[in-house]
Amino acid sequence: MNFDKDELLIKDALNSIETPGYKIDINIRKETNRYKGTRRCIALAIALTMFVSVGGMGATIPSFNRLISKVQDEIGNYLYPIQLTSEDKGIKTEVVAAYNDDDMAVIYINIQDLEGNRVDGSTDFYNYSFSNGDTFGAELVNYDESTKTATMRVMINGGKKLSNKDIVFTLNSFISGGVELEDIDTGINISDFYTEEQKFCTLKEETSSGSGGADYKKLYRNGIEKILPLEDKNIAVPGVDFMHITNMGVIDGEFHIQTKWTGTGIDDHGFFFINDENGEEVPYRSVYFGISKEGRLLQSDDRDNMGNYINGYECQEFIYDLKSIDINKSKITAYMKSSKNYIEGNWKTKFKLKAIDEKKEYKCNIEEDNIKINKMILTPLGLTMYGQETYQYDNVPKMEVVLNMKNGTVKKLDSEMWDDEKGILLKCVGDEIIKVDEVQSISINGKTIE
């Protein structure tokens, strides 16, 4: 498992988002360390459905026309063609179309193999970037076997940095040839390992090469995380030959699963899930770390022969609080994925985004849990809130955002936070395009704004 340091992203915080047309739970997986560097968005994904027929914009633009035939009518109304290409090593990328408001954009990008079979139904971007805005995962939404073309949907946000600005998309590598194993029954009886307290090693925050999980608030209490001893018990996971479990046990009343990634795939990854007696998933936190050739825990000052710092990702430890569940009625399942192909190249495209004009502004004065909101803007993509905040990572305010429609129905939006120099606090998105003129009012934690 050879994750780039800045490419361990969102899955843990975003455990499952499902749309009628495409399931993306677990698909977004590049997980950034929450506690190192500039504070970023905790987790943000847009879940807008593909695969329904739409009318005929862009009839003279083949790739745009193909895309428009696969998206919802509501999305098709806002998509505009870009249709710019880049080619290297017999592989062509094409920024096909996009739709965006002032601070968020959804971009559709095709990648096509003109010479072989390097692009398939498991294709995923690996090293890629946009010159403006922050990227929150590329999602495969379609694969055309006849043309060997994969269509990716990428969401970026960046405040006023996006609207009517030149954007450069750069792709340096992608992966394919993926083997995906879901709902693996590990056959492990938790009670066999949930016994006496184990000895532990101390993992310092600065030594860890990544972390995440829905239970992330418990990470690095007092700057450390207790992990199991580095004893390789070599416990196999059925059907998986690129990783194994090295240790399991209890520390401070919490259950730990320690793993080691042994495959050669650059993006080998996976997760373990424990459900309680009611079938509810138990939240976990996880940490990544490395082991030296001598079998000791890598430290933050370890260097290789060239003098470069060593960041080990070959080990990952999952930590669960099982004290309130019946472990005899629970089981451990797993999701694993490995990609055999890693293709490098240089694909670069420059284009411009133009924001949707349809919007409605709300003046307000809302104070909730160390956050002050003085303005909101509603667009077809979502609701953006502006104001001030003083919260920290371990004290993120919970915001329940609901759109009250004129026909009496309600639409709940997911709220996700990030910092922005323009004062943007939250971007709230739903599972479909918002019809702005059909919104009667907005409720924020039960308070209604009209």
Full-model pTM: 0.74
pLDDT confidence of residue 285: 92
Provide CB contacts within 8 A for 372, sequence distance 6+: 365, 366, 387, 388, 389
Q: Which stretches within 52-193 are classed as H helix?
A: 62-68, 73-76
Q: How far apart are CA 168 and CA 129, in angstroms?
A: 8
Average pLDDT taken over every residue of the chain: 79
Residues 157, 418: Cα–Cα separation, whole Å: 10
Average pLDDT over residues 51-70: 52
Whether residue 98 contacts residue 46, with contact meaning beta carbons closer than 8 Å, is answered with no
303 against 319, higher pLDDT: 319
| Tokens encoding 255 | 């259950």
pLDDT confidence band for 345 (50 / 70 / 90) = very high
pLDDT of residue 61: 53
309 pLDDT band (50/70/90 cuts)? low
Cα distances (Å, whole numbers) of residue 444 to 401, 412, 426, 428: 5, 10, 12, 11
Which region among 31-45, 114-128, 207-221, 288-302 has the lowest average model confidence (pLDDT)? 31-45
pLDDT digit string, tens, across residues 178-221: 998 999 999 999 999 998 888 888 888 877 877 888 887 788 88
Q: Give the pLDDT band (50/70/90) at residue 168.
A: very high
Confidence of residue 68 (pLDDT cuts 50, 70, 90): low
What does the pLDDT look like over 229-248, one tens digit per residue?
988 899 999 999 999 999 99
Cα–Cα distance, 43 to 392 (Å, whole number): 15
- What pLDDT was estimated at residue 67? 72
